[in-house]
A = this chain, B = another copy of it.
């Protein structure tokens, strides 16, 4: 069974000047992967006729499936629909179901239906219309020489909706592919070259159908085993054998054997242990709390956070002593320790995390180096504080503080701190 190959083309000048971050092609890649379809390339081009046609020609050479997003809006800079119509030699005709949907949408919003909006109901007569319940621009499915070309709006939730309801079921029916299966080992506290060294004999012994990849980031390295071929059952068995070997060898640094984010690893522990968590965040401004609450069901164990950006709030709500801040500074072991201890009581939780630091100029940056961050984790009897230093800009320092913060909570609850 040969593998089906896909390519993803994203269209929009905003991508080529870096005005927006493309999250669409990553999401589509995940879905292709789940179907066992290889993504060969992801290409971004501008709202420019020749660029789009060249990309289509080039990708259709190697791929059986080309998924295109963007350029379907009602304004003059959106050229994908007439271009595809011409490319596939069609004629633009009004789609009655799309027209009815648009009219209903506009009347529900009490907006007049403009000539311009009429154009949004037009579709090439050579495509299968993919109805877009979530928005105004329908998707389009073209067949050409046994290959499939799908065009979708660039608005992420509209694209996702049409993919799930219209595109994925059709692809599943049309293309049968051997599944691609992944197994992961997530580690913390050791660099990728040391990890590679420790498991080099296991890596060397991997069969050809299994590949190992290392993804380093923020104090952690994610190891991903990817396999395909030779029957699903035996493949899963092999993957899990090697996953187990690697996890055993790296036991002292393994934090999970599943590729899930740290907030979810924490969530499982708090859920399983019936424990509660609260926070006192200064320099991360609520970003760690945001991560924790990304997990469905987090309200079971996460009670809340005092985002104490000002010293008044550290004092007034948490009850950090004024003298502590005056004597040692807001960014200090003493202050962060008091913050963590106070959070246990104020939020009435079993575990607390506290953080205070200097992310860019201002505040105590005359006294301390920018990037200095103090963190503490506490339970009802103990508190551990630790100093970090991050060398990046404001946004990246915040990201790092959040990753290292979650890792510190993980180590604390696993008695590794």
Contacts and interface: CB of A to CB of B under 8 A. Distances in A.
Contacts of A156: 396
B191 A111 contact: yes
Contacts of A310: 299, 302-304
A212 B21 CA distance: 20
Stoichiometry, as copies per complex, reads 2
Interface stretch (A165-173, A192-200, A320-328): A192-200
Contact of A23 (B21, B55, B296): B21
Contact of A194 (B27, B111, B194): B111
Interface stretch (A74-82, A122-130, A375-383): A74-82
Contacts of A307: 279, 286, 289, 304-307
B26 A196 contact: no
A294 interface: yes
A213 interface: yes
Contacts of A14: 213, 215, 224
A44 B365 CA distance: 40
A107 to B, nearest CB: 14
Nearest to A395: B294
A209 interface: no
A28 B289 CA distance: 31
A287 interface: yes
A40 interface: yes
A120 B47 CA distance: 40
Interface in A272-315: 279, 281, 284-290, 292-294, 296-299, 302-310, 312-313
A219 to B, nearest CB: 13
Interface of A: 13-23, 25-31, 33, 38-47, 51, 55, 58, 73-77, 111, 114, 116-117, 120, 134, 136, 155-157, 180, 182, 191-194, 196-197, 203, 211-217, 224, 226, 259, 279, 281, 284-290, 292-294, 296-299, 302-310, 312-313, 316-317, 346-348, 360-363, 391-392, 394-396, 398
In the A-B complex, the 6 residue pairs with the closest CB atoms: A286-B286, A285-B293, A286-B289, A18-B29, A18-B30, A305-B307
17 contacts: A17-B29, A40-B51, A41-B43, A73-B214, A281-B286, A285-B289, A285-B292, A285-B293, A287-B293, A294-B394, A294-B395, A294-B398, A299-B362, A303-B313, A305-B309, A306-B317, A313-B347
Given A299-B362, A317-B346, 15 more contacts: A14-B215, A14-B224, A16-B38, A17-B33, A40-B51, A75-B193, A75-B196, A77-B213, A286-B305, A287-B293, A299-B309, A299-B310, A303-B312, A306-B306, A312-B348
